[in-house]
A and B are shown apart, each in its own frame.
Chain A
Amino acid sequence: MTDRLNFVLSDFKRLDADIEKLSEIFMAEKIAITGANGFLGMWLICLVEYINRTKEKDIQLFLIDKSCSQFEKISTNLTTRYEFIKCKIESLTSIPLDVDFFIHAAGNPDARDYLEDPLGGFSTDTCGALNLLKHLKDSEKLKSFIFTSTGWLSSKEILQPNLNEGLKRYVESKECAERIIFAASDQIKLPVTIVRLYSYFGPFQKLSSPWVVNEFVRSALVSKGLKLYSSGESKRALMYGADLAVSIAKALCACKKSNVLEVGSVDSITIWDLANKIASIFDISTMKIERSMISKDNESDFVPSLELKEMSLTKNTDIDSALTRTIRWYQEFENNES
C-alpha cells in the first residue's frame, strides 16, 4: 500500500513536460503558502517535493494554516525543508525575508460556511489579507504574489438575485479581498497576480466536501447508486489537483503583475456525463443513476469565460484517469475516516 505522498507524486510524472518549463521556480530559494493544509496548499507542497526530488533542487517551504491535520499525514516522508506556522492568517506575526514566491490560498472554499459563520469568513478574507500585507511590505526579494480568488467573479451568473445568500457573501468577500490586494499592488509595489479558480477534485479534498465529484463518490460508496438532483445538463470545468498545482506554478513564473487570470479546465462536462463516468469506474455492476422527482430551475454552468490558452498546460490529466485516481485515493485513504 503506497503512502499518500508517493501516491500524489506519481501524478506529477504525467505532467513532467510542463513542469520542466517552470525554470523560475527551480531557481527559488523559498516558497510561502497560506492555506497550506488545504487542497491547493497540499498539492503545491507535493509539487515542490516532486521538483526537489526529480530536478535535484532544494526549495524550502514556509507554510501557514490554522490546522496541520492533512500535512501531518505526508510530512514524515517529505525531504523538502519546511517551517509550518500553525495560526490563523489574521494572527500571523512575521514572514521570512527570503521568500521568492508567495501563494495566498488561505480561505474557506465552502460558501455554505458563509451562511453559518459569515463573520469568520469575512475576517479571513479581508482582515487576513490586510494582516498579511502588513508583513510583506519589506519583502524585497519577492518576485510574485498570487492570490486565489473565485471564478464566480468572472461569471455573469452572479447577477442572478436568487443565488444562495451564502454564495453571495462568499463572492463579495473575495471581491473585497481582491480589491485590497490590488491596492497593495499599487501602494507597496507588490508583484500581484489574481488567479480565479473554478472546480477541482482529487486527493486532499475531503470526501465529505459538498462538491459534485465528492457527492457522487460518497453516494456510490454509501448507497451503491447515484442520484441526480438536477436535470444533469449544467456544465462544470473540472480540473485534477495535479494540473491545478502546475497551472498555479506556471502563473507564478509568468508573474503577470496586476493581472487577473483564470485557471480551470479547458474541457467542460455535464453533470449527467460525470455521473455516468463515475458509475462506470465503480465495479458494482448494478450502479444505477436515478433522477430526482423535482426539476430544478436556473441551473448555472460554472465554466471559465476567458481565453485560457496562456495558462493552459500542454498536456492535461484526462478526466477518466483523474476520476479513477481520485476514487482510488478515497478507497485507500479516506473510506474509513470520514
Chain B
Amino acid sequence: MSHHLIISDLTLRDGNHALQHQLSLDQVSSYCKSIDEVGIDVIEVGHGNGLGASSLQVGISKFSDEQLLTTARESLKRSKLGVHVIPGFATIKNDLSMAVDLGVDVFRIACHCSEADLTRRHIEFCRDNGKDVFGVLMMSHMLDSKELALQAQKMESYGAEGVIFMDSSGHFLPEDVTERDHRLKELTTSAIGFHAHNNLGMSVANSLAAVNAGASLIDGCAKGFGAGAGNTPIEVLVAILKSKGIVGDIDIDKLLYATDLAREEIINFPSEISSLSVVSGLSGVFSGFLKPVLSISNELDVNPNAVFRELGRLKAVAGQEDLIYEVANSIKNHGIGKHD
C-alpha cells in the first residue's frame, strides 16, 4: 500500500485566528487560486475555531461560513476543500449539512484529546455522506501516548479514516512526537497525522519527525501564519520533503509564490516567538491564556513566567481562566507557587 503523504494548508483557517477571524472573500479567492496550482492536497478554510464557531465568545467572523466556503469552492479545482469542526460549536443540522451541500470534500472533527466520544455523531454523518473524514485530538500533550491511542481508536471506530494529533501549545520536542506517532501507529490501523505549533521553534523539526515515524497527514500554514508563535511554515516543510523525495508532485516555485502572496495580502504581521510563547510552550499551557495571564500578572505585580509554570503544573485547560487569578494570588502571597 502506498503511503502518500497528505499535506493540509491551514492558512485560511488556523491563520484566521491571527486576523481575529476577519478574513475576507477576496483574500480567500486570491490565495486559493494561487495555492491550487501547487499540488497541496487539502486547503482548509473558515473561522479559526471551525464551522459554526462565529460567536461573541470566540469572535464574530467577517463573512459567514457559507460565504467563505462558497468562495473557496469556486476557486479550487485541483486541491480538496476542507473544514475544521468542533462538536459543541458546530451542529450537524445547521453547519455540517450546509458544508456537505456546498461540496466541501474533507471534514476534520476536533475535540480536546480526552473527549473523543463527542465526535461520534459528526464523524458518522460525514461518513454516511461519503466524505473524507478525520478526527483531530487537540492539546494532545495532556495525555500519555497509550491514553491518546485509546482516544484515537474511538475515533477510528466511529469511522474516522485517520486521526491527527495537535500540539496546540507548542510543547513537544521531536522525540516526543516520534514516541507518540510510533505508539499511535502501533495501536491503531488508521492513518496518523500531526499538527505542530512553533512556540519552541520546533514546528518543522517536529513535523519531520512525525513523517519519519510514519505519519500520513501533516499540516502547515503560509509563512507559519497563526496566532501567537505561529504554526509550521508550509513552504519550508514542503521544500524539505520534496528534497528528500517524500513528496513528488509539488511545484515548489509556485508554493513560494503563493506564500509570498499571502505575506502581502493576508498576513498582517509575521509570527514571532515571544518570551511568553517560550514559557507557555514549555509549560504546555493553552495559548489562549496569554492575554489574561499578562494582564492579571501585571495587576498583581507578579512574574507572568511563574504563573505559566504553575498553570502548566496544574494542567490547566481552556475555560479555567479563574484559576489564573488564584495562582497569581498564591504566588504573590507565598513568593512561590502552590505545592500539593
Query: Which A residues have a C-beta under 8 Å from some C-beta of B?
Result: 111-112, 115-116, 161-166, 210, 215, 218-219, 222-223, 225-227, 229, 231, 290, 292-298
Contact = CB atoms under 8 A, between A and B. Distances in A.
B161 A165 contact: no
B130 A165 contact: no
A223 B153 contact: no
Contacts of A296: 1, 161, 189-191
A161 B186 contact: yes
Interface secondary structure of B, over-half rule = mixed
B92 to A, nearest CB: 12
B4 interface: yes
B189 A226 contact: no
A115 B189 contact: no
Contacts of B150: 115, 165
Contacts of B41: 293
B187 A162 contact: yes
A179 B130 CA distance: 41
Contacts of A227: 130-131
Interface string B301-339: 000000000000000000000000000000000000000
8 contacts: A116-B117, A165-B187, A222-B129, A223-B130, A231-B1, A294-B216, A295-B1, A296-B189
A223 B128 contact: yes
A301 B3 CA distance: 21
A215 B127 contact: yes
B298 interface: no
B132 A294 contact: yes
B161 A229 contact: yes
B29 interface: no
Contact of B6 (A166, A290, A294): A294
B1 A162 contact: no
A292 to B, nearest CB: 6
Given A290-B130, A298-B189, A164 B157 contact: yes
Interface string B142-176: 00000001100110111101100000000000000
Contacts of A161: 186-187
A158 B295 CA distance: 55
Contacts of B80: 293
A293 B78 CA distance: 13
Interface of B: 1-4, 6, 41, 80, 106, 117, 127-132, 149-150, 153-154, 156-159, 161-162, 185-191, 216
A162 B163 CA distance: 14
B153 A165 contact: yes
A181 to B, nearest CB: 27
B188 A162 contact: yes
Contacts of A231: 1
B130 A219 contact: yes
A223 B129 contact: yes
Nearest to A224: B130
Contacts of B106: 293
Contacts of B127: 215, 219, 229
A293 B153 contact: no
Interface secondary structure of A, over-half rule = loop
A301 to B, nearest CB: 14
The residue in A231, A290, A294 that gathers the most chain B C-beta atoms within 10 A of its C-beta is: A294
The 9 nearest A-B residue pairs measured at CB: A227-B130, A112-B157, A294-B161, A223-B130, A223-B129, A222-B128, A295-B1, A165-B153, A294-B191
B153 A164 contact: yes
A115 B154 contact: yes
A297 B189 contact: yes
B215 to A, nearest CB: 12
A164 B158 CA distance: 12
A290 B127 CA distance: 12
Contacts of A164: 153, 156-157, 188-189
Given A116-B117, A219-B130, A293 B189 contact: no
A298 B190 CA distance: 10
Contacts of A226: 130
Contacts of A112: 157-158
A294 B3 CA distance: 8
A116 B116 CA distance: 11
Given A161-B186, A165-B153, A229-B127, 11 more contacts: A112-B158, A116-B154, A164-B153, A165-B187, A215-B128, A219-B127, A219-B129, A225-B130, A227-B131, A295-B1, A296-B191
B161 A162 contact: no
A229 B129 CA distance: 12
Contacts of B190: 296
Contacts of B6: 293-294
A116 B297 CA distance: 42
A166 B153 contact: yes
Contacts of B157: 111-112, 115, 164, 166
A227 B122 CA distance: 17
The residue in A111, A218, A223 that gathers the most chain B C-beta atoms within 10 A of its C-beta is: A223
A246 B127 CA distance: 34
Contacts of B131: 227
A293 B130 CA distance: 12
A162 B153 CA distance: 10
A226 B188 CA distance: 25
Contacts of A116: 117, 154
A290 B131 CA distance: 10
A259 B275 CA distance: 70
A52 to B, nearest CB: 39
Nearest to A233: B1
A163 B161 CA distance: 14
Contact of A163 (B128, B162, B189): B189
Nearest to A166: B157
A255 B337 CA distance: 72
